[in-house]
Amino acid sequence: MRQRLTLLVAGTTLLVLLAFLVPLAVLVRQVAEDRALSRADDVVQTIVPVAGAGDVTALRLAVTAQPVPVTVFLPDESVLGTPAAPTAAVRLAAESGRALTVVTDDGQEVAVPVLGAGGTTVVRTVVTDAELTRGVTRAWLTLAALGLALVLLGLLVADRLARTITAPITQLSEVSHRLAGAELTARADPSGPRELREVAGALNHLASRIQELLAAEREQIADLSHRLRTPLTALRLEAESLRDPEESARVASAADQVARAVTAVIQQARRRDVAPAVASCDAAAVVRDRVAFWAVLAEDTGRALSRALPPEAEPVPVAVSGEDLAAALDALLGNVFAHTPDGTALSVTLSTDGVLEIADAGPGFAPSAARRGASAGGSTGLGLDIARRIATRFEITGAPGGGAVVRLRLPTS
C-alpha cells in the first residue's frame, strides 16, 4: 500500500509538471526566436536612415560598425558590407517595397527596402539557427532539473505521508496475528486517521470481549466440575457395592475415566491463554486400550467388533495427546453405539502411517452430519467435532455394503 501511494503521487506530480513544463519549454524557444529577430531588426533600423540619405561613405561606415553581418544592395547593383548575391527575398523586397522575413536553410533572412532618390536600396541580414536558439538548451536543462527535483521532493513527501497511513495498519496486522496466536493481552495503539483509530478501538474491544468470554467459559467449566463431583462419588460408591468384582471394576473404571476427562477439560480451559505445547502419544496403544473397553459393550449388545491394529511391538507415534485421541475415539464409537441398532457390526482400523478408520454396517450418516455441530439424532452434534479437531484430514464416506466410514489422518510426530 505504501508503494502504491508513492507511485500514485509520483504519477500525479509528473503529469502536473508535464502540463506546465512542456508549454513553458515551447514558450522559451519562441521568446529566444523573438529576441534574436528583434535584435536583427534593431540593427537594420539603425542603417535604414543612413541608406535613405544616400551618403555611400556614411552607409559603409554604418554597415561595418554593426555587430552582426549586414549586406546593403544599392540601386546600381553594388554591394556594401558582407558580400552576398541578391536572393529572391532581396529582389522581392525591392520590387514590392515591403519588408520581408523569409525562412531559409541557414535561419531567417530579413530584407528591408529603402526608397531613395536614385532608386531602392535593400538592407539584408540573416539570423542563423544558432542565434534563434541561443540559451534555449540551457533553459530546457534547467527546467528538466527543476522538474526532476520536484518529482523527487514529491516522492519524499508521498513516502512520509504513506508511512503515516501504513504504520498503523501494520500495527493492527501485528496485533491481530498476536491475538490469533492466543496472546489475548495484545492491544493496538489507536493512531493515524480517524478511521484507523476506530478500527484499532474495535479490535481492542474484540480482544477484551474474547477474554471475558473465555473467563466466563472457564467459570462454567469449573462449576460443571463441582456439579459432577457428587454424582461421580455416588457412582464410585455404587460400583463398590456391586457383588460382581468384574462388573464393579468395570463401572469404577468408567467413573474414573469420566473424572479424568472432566479434569482434562478443566486443565485445557485453564491453559487456553497459553500457547499449546506439542503433545504426542502411541496411537496403537491408545486405540488398543479403548477398543478393549468398548469390546465389552459390543459383546453385550451383540455387535461383531473387528479390529486391525499394528502389533504391540510396533508403535505408531502421533502428534496428539493420549487423552485427546482417546476422547475422539470414544466419541466416534459412542456414535456407532448410540445411532445404530443392536447387532450392527463395526470395525476399527489403524495403519502404521497414522490413519484411523471406524466403519459400521448401520444406516449411515445424514447429509448434514458433515457440518460442524450438526446432528440428526437429537445429540449435541459435537462428537464428530471432537474427532475433527485432532485430525489433519477428516472424511465421512459410505461403506460399500451400506453403513458409514469415518477416516482420520492423525498428525505424525
Q: Which tens digits make up the pLDDT trace of 175-197?
A: 898 888 878 888 988 887 888 88
pLDDT confidence tier of residue 406, bands split at 50, 70 and 90:
very high
Tell me, what's the pLDDT at 374? 46
- The full set of domain ranges for the chain reads 2-138, 278-413
* Residue linked to cell 501504513: 166
Per-residue confidence at 380, pLDDT binned at 50, 70, 90? very low
**pLDDT of res. 267:** 65
Give the three-state DSSP class for 407.
Answer: strand
Overall average pLDDT of the 320-345 stretch: 88
Give the Å distances, CA to CA, from 194 to 158, 186, 190, 274: 19, 21, 9, 33
Question: How much is the average pLDDT of 146-175?
Answer: 85
pLDDT in the model for residue 181: 83
Class of domain 2-138: alpha beta
Of 107, 134, 128, 142, residue with least CA distance to 29: 134
Cell digits of residue 146: 527543476
CA distance 30 to 199: 57
Check: CB of residue 338 under 8 Å from CB of residue 378.
Answer: no
268 band by pLDDT with thresholds 50, 70 and 90:
low
Q: Identify the CATH class of 278-413.
A: alpha beta
Q: Which of 107-121, 194-208, 354-368 has the lowest mean pLDDT?
A: 354-368
Pairing of strands 305-308, 346-350: parallel
How much is the pTM? 0.45
* pLDDT given at position 6: 79
**Mean pLDDT across 11-21:** 86
Share of the chain above pLDDT 70, in %: 90
Q: How confident is the model at residue 90 (pLDDT cuts 50, 70, 90)?
A: confident
Amino acid at 144: A
Taking residues 95-106, what's their average pLDDT?
Answer: 86
Give the Cα separation of 391 and 407 in Å (integer).
9
Q: Can you say whether the dihedral through the CA atoms of 337, 340, 341, 343 is positive or negative?
A: negative
Q: What is the pLDDT of residue 383?
A: 63
How many Cα neighbours within 13 Å face the side chain of 131? 18
b/e 159-197 (16+ beta carbons within 10 angstroms → b): eeebeeebebbebbeebeebbeeeeeebebebebeeebe
For residue 227, the model assigns a pLDDT of 74
Q: Comparing 2-138 with 278-413, is the CATH topology the same?
A: no
Confidence at 105, pLDDT banded by 50, 70, 90: confident
